[in-house]
A and B are shown apart, each in its own frame.
Chain A
Amino acid sequence: MATVGRALLILALAVALYGVAASVYGAVRGRDEWVASGRRSVYAIAALVTGSFAILEIAFLRSDFSFATVASHSSTTTPTFYKGAAAWSSQEGSLLLWLWLLSLWSSLVLFATRRQLRRVAPYATAVLLGFAAFFAALLVFKETPFELLAVVPAEGAGLNPLLRHPSMMIHPPMLYSGYTLFTIPFAFAIGALIARQVGAADWIRATRRFALGAWLFLGIGILLGARWSYAELGWGGYWAWDPVENASLLPWLTGTAFIHSIMIQEKRGMLKIWNVSLVLATGTLAILGTFLVRSGILDSIHAFGASTLGVPFVILIGVLIASSIGLVVLRRNELRSENRLDSLLSREAIFLLNNLVLVAMAFVVFWGTFWPLIAEALTGTRRALGPPWFDTYTVPLAIVLVLLSGIGPVIAWRRATVSNARRNFLLPALAAIAVGALLAVFGAATRPLALAMFVCGAFVVASVGQEFWRGVGVRRAMTGENALVALRSLVARNRRRYGGYLVHVGMALLFVGVAASTAFNDARDVRLAPGQSVRSGDYTFTYERATSHISTRGGDLEKISFGAVVDVSRDGRHVTTMRPERGYYPSRDVAGLGPVGRFFEGEATSEIGLDAGLRRDIWTAMTPDIRRLLPTIEEGDRVFSAAAGRLEPELEGQALGMALKGIVDKYLADRPEATFRVISSPLVTWIWIGSIVVFLGGLIALWPGPDAARRRVTARYAARVAEDLGRA
């Protein structure tokens, strides 16, 4: 099967190269049959890569350790759900996932536009096939997922235990869907620039939904990663300004700017250079994000370590930047604005300001992420910038961004008068001031930036609430519908507008959650013996007793866990009982490790204790002190090493099991001390609730409107415009 998988990838590479040539030839010569052949190359690649991906997945599900990647990233003890997802935990598997998603999304957009965009689509096809050729070449020549082992091991190394979390399994496909979807507007923008069609409305209309989908998928991917970090990594945070996290944030920020400013081009024919630059930058940053994870150029807990992919990616990114800049400069005459900004008091002006803030944030994140490389180039020493540096710049920008997301919905397009603005801003502003005053009274004034975020968040919720209220009122006055039906019809008829408003509310909730949980969290790191307590916020954490157990799967030892029972109380009243644990997975690399010691030398993961609520989260993780066990473990190593080869394997396994059971029991008997991290943090849950609201709003904005309704509306307006024409 590996041979077939590899052959499919080689075929995909050949078809991609042919498709690039066919598409460009067809576009230059005006030969539709070559253009169609190029487009069919994309469909063929989708089929070939689907076959290749299926072969790899089957190998993982069957634990076929003749595949090197399966042997190094899965094992018979890996749960089936994680076996299926282990494919993209490897470098080569994740590259294959990238290519697969790219081929599927490319096929979808090219099928949808097969009878349109005569001049733009062939060049866009060539660009998409160029990306496919690049990734197929990496998979054929650099990182093949179909490498076979000369000696097939009986057991694999297993999936990294840190990745055994449901959100971590969905996170990469979401992130890669975002990255690959962003290449679509990029490709069509390049096509439009080459074909001198960049001012046209139809390529934007054809790809807008893909840009919005990319934004949504990438956002979900980022948030799933944050959730994983919070629940799995044992440090209690959800964002660490890690280079790989930042790499996914960069295209999301510029993509957010693009999906706002493209509305101005659609409506007013303005900001063409800005928009095309944004979409080109976003596509390039999506590739840069992939590069950062793949190359290991920056130190990150997420990166795949040092690899040989750096040079090809640098060349690709160089080509993307050079061709983007070159095309924009060459087509600068076609990119002139058709209109000017009518007023600084207009939605266009707010969108422009929002764009500047988003791009400034992207620049800060870019600078901070790449600073270690810049510093190394300038001084010879690699120095990373930590969260305080990022917070210094991004927090004020985020406050302005949230404020703007509240102003945008209540200000009119083209021009708003002062009296109208006063009428629309009055209630939201009063609500925001009231919330701010109330929170200041309750002590929030000690953290002015957080208070500013709460005030801006309240402003957003109030302004969007007012918009929904008024919209429903208008709808009810027009149709006599009841409030719920009116709300549904209002949203259904204006999906982009009201879906977008919901996204704003979700982002405001998310930022309020971030501000509260960052500014007011109380985190303590303490060493406790059973019976001792520590306070965090209003809560007392008492280490009641130690726990330990051995987990097995399929007859094999999966991990040894040492944990604690922690009682949490407030003002003497019991709140909850938590059971944090530290799990030790055996090392598969037995060389140099003792027969007993290897069970404590592999990966270790934290199972956190979490009591989440709307007002606050109580969180704890523990690290057991196993130093007292070391003499016993060393003794076990000596005994089993001396007995090696003298015992039957079955007997040796039983004896080893008993020895480990003895160690686990000894841990309990010793009443061990442990190091705890305890956190009480307000409003963390609102980050996840805000994310769900963002997701729902994005889905509403993305959902296609019913064709029939669109036709009716169009016909009605056409009649009215035609009537005006008759009068003129």
Chain B
Amino acid sequence: MDIVALLVILAVLCAVVALVSAPLRGRAVDRVRAESDDEIAELEARKEAKYREIRDAELDMRTGKLSQEDHRALDRQLRAEAVEILKALDDARG
């Protein structure tokens, strides 16, 4: 093995060790959300999905896939579900 190749490999090894071990040396730890934040993120995801459902139902009504009557009932149900998610979000946020 020639000396240049050896030096290159050693330099790469040092760089990899520095990169991978940085969090263990107390450096560059990405701030991972606390568990309660994870719960909030989950509820936010559910809320967004529910809002998307409400928007889809509205578009379905406007494009004639749902009658106004069906849409009213469905919309009421979806909004009630959204309210439950918002309540849970408020609780999670304390």
Please list the residues of chain A having a beta carbon within 8 angstroms of any beta carbon in chain B: 1, 3-4, 7-8, 11, 15, 18-19, 32-37, 39-41, 43-44, 47-48, 51, 114-119, 200-202, 204-205, 266-267, 410-417, 419-420, 423-424, 467, 470-471, 474, 494, 497, 713-714, 717-718, 720-722, 724-725, 728
Cβ A725 vs Cβ B12 within 8 A: no
Contact A44 B31 (CB under 8 A): no
Given A115-B33, A202-B44, A470-B62, 12 further pairs, Cβ under 8 A? A3-B1, A8-B9, A8-B12, A15-B20, A33-B26, A41-B20, A114-B32, A116-B33, A713-B51, A717-B55, A721-B79, A728-B83
Q: How far is the CA of A44 from the CA of B23 in the complex (A)?
A: 14
* B67 lies within 8 A of A725 (CB): no
- Confirm or deny: B88 has a beta carbon within 8 angstroms of a beta carbon on chain A: no
Contact partners of B44 in chain A: CB under 8 A: 202
On whether the beta carbons of A118 and B38 are closer than 8 Å, the reply is yes
The CA-CA distance from A725 to B80 in the complex, in Å, is 8
Query: Which residues in A have their C-beta under 8 angstroms from that of B52?
Result: 266-267
Q: Which residues of A contact B56 (CB under 8 A)?
A: 413, 497
- Which residues in B have some Cβ–Cβ distance to A below 8 Å? 1-2, 5, 8-9, 12-13, 16, 19-24, 26, 28-35, 37-38, 41-42, 44-46, 48-49, 51-57, 59-60, 62-67, 70, 74, 79-80, 82-83, 86-87
CA distance A405 to B89 in the complex (A): 37
**In the bound complex, what is the Cα–Cα distance between A410 and B86 (angstroms)?**
31
A40 and B66 form a contact (CB under 8 A): no
Once the chains are docked, how many angstroms separate the CA of A18 from the CA of B23? 14
Cα–Cα, bound, A416→B35 (Å): 40
A37–B38 contact, CB under 8 A?
A: no
Query: B48 to chain A: closest CB distance in Å?
Result: 7
A41 to B24 CA separation, bound complex (whole angstroms): 12
Q: In the complex, what distance in Å separates the CA atom of A329 from the CA atom of B8?
A: 49
Contact B19 A43 (CB under 8 A): yes
Query: A267-B53, A717-B54 in contact; A412/B28 too (CB < 8 A)?
Result: no
A420–B45 CB distance below 8 A: no
- A116: chain B residues at CB < 8 Å are 33, 38, 41
**Number of residue pairs A-B, CB distance < 8 angstroms:** 157
Shortest Cβ-Cβ A-B pairs, 5 listed: A36-B23, A201-B45, A412-B65, A470-B63, A474-B62
Cβ contact within 8 Å between A33 and B65: no
Query: In the complex, how many angstroms separate the beta carbon of B59 from the nearest chain A beta carbon?
Result: 7
A426 CB to closest chain B CB (Å) equals: 11
Q: What chain A residues lie within 8 Å of B79 (beta carbons)?
A: 720-721, 724
A-B contact pairs, 22 of them (CB 8 A): A8-B12, A15-B16, A19-B20, A32-B32, A35-B32, A36-B29, A37-B23, A114-B32, A116-B33, A116-B41, A117-B38, A118-B35, A119-B38, A200-B42, A201-B49, A202-B42, A413-B57, A415-B74, A416-B66, A424-B64, A717-B82, A721-B51
Do B86 and A412 touch across chains, with their CB atoms under 8 A apart? Answer: no
Task: Give B44's nearest chain A residue, CB to CB.
Answer: A202
Task: Write out the residue numbers on chain B whose beta carbons fall within 8 Å of the beta carbon of A474.
Answer: 59, 62-63
Q: Give the shortest distance, in Å, between B32 (CB) and chain A (any CB).
A: 5
Partner of A40, one of B22, B31, B37, B86: B22
A40 and B65 contact, CB distance less than 8 A: no
With both chains docked as a complex, state the minimum distance between the C-beta of B56 and any C-beta of chain A, in angstroms. 6
A412, B66: Cβ atoms closer than 8 Å: yes
- Known A-B contacts A202-B41, A714-B51, A724-B83; A420 and B32 likewise in contact (beta carbons under 8 Å): no
Contact yes or no, B20 A44, CB < 8 A: yes
- When C-beta atoms are compared, the residue in chain B nearest to A714 turns out to be B51
The CA-CA distance from A413 to B48 in the complex, in Å, is 17
Which residues of A lie under 8 Å from residue B16 when comparing CB positions?
Answer: 11, 15, 44, 47-48
Cβ–Cβ < 8 Å partners of B20 in chain A = 15, 18-19, 37, 40-41, 44
Is the CB–CB distance between A36 and B83 below 8 Å? no
Query: Are A4 and B24 also in contact (CB < 8 A) when A412-B60, A420-B64, A470-B63 are?
Result: no
Assess A7 versus B41: contact at CB under 8 Å? Given A40-B20, A118-B33.
no
| Whole-angstrom distance between the Cβ of B80 and the nearest chain A Cβ | 8
| Nearest CB of chain B from residue A625's CB, rounded to whole Å | 55
Taking CB atoms, residues of chain A closer than 8 Å to B26 are: 33
Q: Do the beta carbons of A420 and B67 come within 8 Å of each other?
A: yes
Whole-angstrom CA separation of A423 from B65 in the bound complex: 8
CA distance A498 to B26 in the complex (A): 47
- Across the interface, B65 reaches (CB within 8 A) one of A114, A200, A416, namely A416
A265 CB to nearest B CB, Å:
9
- Flag if B30 contacts A115 (CB, 8 Å): yes
Cβ of A48 and Cβ of B12 under 8 Å apart?
yes
> Do A7 and B30 have beta carbons less than 8 Å apart?
no
- Chain A residues within an 8 Å CB radius of B30: 36, 39, 114-115
Instruction: Check B49 against A424 for contact (C-beta < 8 Å).
Output: no
Once bound together, how far apart are the Cα atoms of A117 and B41, in whole Å?
9
Chain A contacts of B41 at CB under 8 A?
A: 116, 202
Q: Give the interface centre of B22, B28, B42 by most chain A CB atoms within 10 Å.
A: B42
Q: How far is the CA of A266 from the CA of B28 in the complex (A)?
A: 34
Known: A7-B9, A11-B16. A717 touches B51 (CB 8 A): yes
Q: In the complex the two chains form, is B49's CB within 8 Å of A266's CB?
A: yes
Q: Are B65 and A721 in contact (CB under 8 A)?
A: no
Q: How far is the CB of A562 from chain B (nearest CB, A)?
A: 49
Question: Once the chains are docked, how many angstroms separate the CA of A37 from the CA of B19?
Answer: 8
A494 / chain B contacts, CB cutoff of 8 Å: 59
A413, B86: Cβ atoms under 8 Å?
Answer: no
In the assembled complex, which residues on chain B have CB atoms less than 8 Å from the CB atom of A467?
A: 63
Contact partner of A721 (CB less than 8 A), chosen from B19, B33, B86, is B86
Complexed CA–CA distance, A204 and B42 (Å): 10
Residues of B within 8 A of A117 (CB): 38
